[in-house]
A = this chain, B = another copy of it.
Amino acid sequence: MPTVTANRFDGLAGGDGVNIGEIARRAGVSRSTVSYALSGKRAVSEATRRRIQEVIEEVDFRPNANARALKEGRTRTLGLVIPPAQRHLTDMQLGFVASVVEAAARVDLDVLLSPSGADHDRSFERLITGRRVDGVILMEIRLEDARVARMRQTGLPFVTIGRTAHPDGICWVDIDYETLIGRCVHHLADLGHRHIALINRSAGLVAAGYGPGHRALHGFAAAVAQRGLQGSDFCIADEPAAGEACVEEILASRPEVTAIASVNEAALPGIQRGLQRAGRVVPRDFSVTGVAARHWAEDLRPPMTAADVPALEMAQYAVELLLERIAQPEAPPRHLLLAPPISLRDSTGPPPLGRRSAAAAGGAGPTSPPRPRPAATG
């Protein structure tokens, strides 16, 4: 008998199938009244409101998000373009993703993901066309980035985490790798180191125009020159094994090097391991510093003196900027360049005796002494 089957869908249908018209019918009012009762955009009598509310709760009604988005012209959804997962994402990137989602959720916004490399692909196109999202956050930006150009073309509001070579006219949030690596070098120079190595991200990434790679190198070169030091730099893969191999190579081919500055977070455990296997005790025999997520630096032994990347704050600010941009697309674009201070931990100290520069031979401790410098790095 069809009656039994019908009952299942009739009474407490659990939210699917019921629409605003059904609510209106049950409450004995018009659809518009239900809508106004829900949005509060027009006055509805207390009695009516209660009746509608009861019906809504009874059948667990939720307005169809698509219909609403269609009429309102906005989706309450943000797009997030993440690097493709082929090579697993770095911890820092993943921190961003989680933080962006969290920040968006806090203001009742959803996040749509698109794993897209530098050249915009199908997934990326799907995300930005068809009014699927109100705005987009782009990650792992290249100095020349086709996706940024495409976004500009569409007119869809967007914010980048990282920035292109000429980021004029767009909103972005970035870490000032140039300054941060500069600070690392100065810190090491203050301690008396004269030969420093930079451990950068992979050669492929740098060759592809990945900003932080380039800017770290610039900052390194500038600071090394300023302090009259010897510097060498290495591009290595984002993995511990590469860090270990790189340390071996440095110790073998550049024995005069007494300190490493790294922007390659994933390689840190390997760097540490390589030094240890070579019998170098950190920080007594060798210093290590760089830029990394805080928990990453703290999980090393000894804990690493480093500029802590504030992923959560960056993500929150990116969401905030994007919302601003969505609200006022014509407002002048804002941006944020973060240069968090170096957190002193236990991985840096003066170089071994006989390797110190004259300037710092007085035996500076692991804390950074005040240092005279011609201009501020910021």
Contact = CB atoms under 8 A, between A and B. Distances in A.
Given A62-B129, A299-B240, A114 B105 contact: yes
Nearest to A153: B14
B110 A14 contact: no
Interface stretch (A35-43, A94-102, A347-355, A366-374): A94-102
A85 B98 contact: yes
A127 B239 CA distance: 35
Interface string A148-159: 000001111000
Contact of A108 (B94, B126, B298): B126
A101 B273 CA distance: 34
A275 to B, nearest CB: 13
Interface in A83-115: 84-85, 88-89, 91, 94-95, 97-99, 101-102, 105, 108, 110-115
A365 B248 CA distance: 29
Interface string A37-72: 000000000000000000000000011111111100
B130 A115 contact: no
A328 interface: no
Given A63-B130, A240-B299, A123 B98 contact: no
A130 B65 contact: yes
* Chain A interface size, under 10 / 10 to 19 / 20 to 34 / 35 or more: 35 or more
A308 to B, nearest CB: 14
Contacts of A101: 82, 85, 113-115
Nearest to A156: B16
Nearest to A99: B85
A338 interface: no
Contacts of A156: 16
A105 B130 contact: no
Contacts of A14: 153-155
A295 interface: yes
Contacts of A70: 64, 66-67, 70
A75 interface: yes
Contacts of A132: 65-66, 110
